[in-house]
Copies of this chain bind each other. A is one copy, B any other.
């Protein structure tokens, strides 16, 4: 069972966007540069986040992506589901209705299959954990724990691209 790479990329992107001054648009190419991931794939994932109402985007020279809502109001689960979907990890094919013991009327299967119910409750435990943490929480955690040198480098990069972008616009 695997989450897709896009989850790692986009949660990092949202966390970075939460740390930027309000109203900052960050082009997909810059987000890709900062995280050293391929821009075309990242752009597709960012667009999925925009469709899910997590990001807003503007086009034009000052355009780019920004969080559509305050970071404390965006859960990590929302980002995960925008990329990997909402379907539970377990697909029940109602095996119990098949084979020599199956084939009965639908009314005989009103109680949920115990295996299906257990898998759903495990899925629920997983989603609850991701729903209990917001992008705002992650940004605070990074601010509190990341290497000050790394934060310094991130700030230098941000100032440098801001200068570059204001020169070209």
Residues of A participating in the B interface, judged by any CB pair closer than 8 Å:
1-5, 7-9, 11-12, 15, 33-37, 76, 84, 87, 89-93, 95-96, 98-104, 108-109, 111, 114-115, 118-119, 121-123, 125-130, 133, 138, 141-142, 145-147, 149-151, 153-154, 156-157
Contact = CB atoms under 8 A, between A and B. Distances in A.
A107 to B, nearest CB: 9
Contacts of A111: 145-146
Contacts of A35: 95, 98-99
State the number of copies, please.
Answer: 2
Contact of A1 (B2, B12, B33, B96): B2
Q: Is the interface of A mostly helix, strand, loop or mixed?
A: helix
A57 B147 CA distance: 54
